Amino acid sequence: MNRRFLEGLWHLADPKISITSLAAMTIGGSVAARDSEVAWGWHTLMLLALFCMEVAKNAWGDVYDYDSGTDLAVAPEDRTAFSGGKRVMVDNLLSRGQTWGIAFAFGTVGILLGAVIVILREPAVFWIGMAGLAIGWSYHGPPLKLVYRGLGELAVVLCYGPAIAVSTYMIQTHHFSLDVFWLSLSLGIFVAAFLWVNEFPDHDADARANKRNLIVRMGKYRASRLLPSIYLAGFALLAAAPFVAGVPRSAWIGFIAVPFALYAAAWTWREPEDFYRRRAVQPAALLTFVFFSAGAGAGVVIGGS
- Give the distance, in angstroms, between the CA of residue 66 and the centroid of all CA atoms in the same chain: 21
Q: Give the model's pLDDT for residue 84.
A: 86
Q: Look at residue 25 and tell me whether its pLDDT is greater than 70.
A: yes
Does the pTM surpass 0.75? The reply is yes
Between 9-23, 105-119, 157-171, 209-223, the lowest mean confidence (pLDDT) is in 9-23
SS3 (DSSP) at 219? coil
Q: Give the model's pLDDT for residue 252.
A: 98
Q: Give the model's pLDDT for residue 1.
A: 60
Residue type, position 81, single letter: A
Confidence category of residue 297, pLDDT binned at 50, 70, 90 = very high
Instruction: Residue 114: give the domain boundaries.
Output: 3-304
Burial class (CB in 10 A: 0-12, 13-18, 19+), 5: middle
pLDDT average, residue stretch 70-86: 89
Confidence category of residue 16, pLDDT binned at 50, 70, 90 = confident
Q: Please write down the long-range contacts of 71-77, taking CB distance under 8 Å and 24 or more positions apart.
A: 71/205, 72/205, 73/204, 73/205, 73/208, 73/209, 74/201, 74/202, 74/205, 75/204, 75/205, 77/277
Q: Residue 182: name the closest of 21, 67, 300 by CA.
A: 300
Best mean pLDDT range from 87-91, 185-189, 208-212: 185-189
117-141 burial code (b ≥16 CB/10 A, e <16): bbeebbeebeebbeebbebbbbbbb
63 vs 191: CA distance, rounded Å: 23
pLDDT average, residue stretch 250-258: 98
The average confidence (pLDDT) of the chain is 95
179 vs 173: CA distance, rounded Å: 13
Looking up residue 215, the CATH number of its domain turns out to be 1.10.600
Confidence category of residue 15, pLDDT binned at 50, 70, 90 = confident
Q: Give the model's pLDDT for residue 202.
A: 95
91 vs 117: CA distance, rounded Å: 37
CA 157, 161, 162, 167 torsion-angle sign: positive
Q: Give the model's pLDDT for residue 116.
A: 98
Q: Residue 27: name the closest of 199, 210, 183 by CA.
A: 183
Domain count of the chain?
1
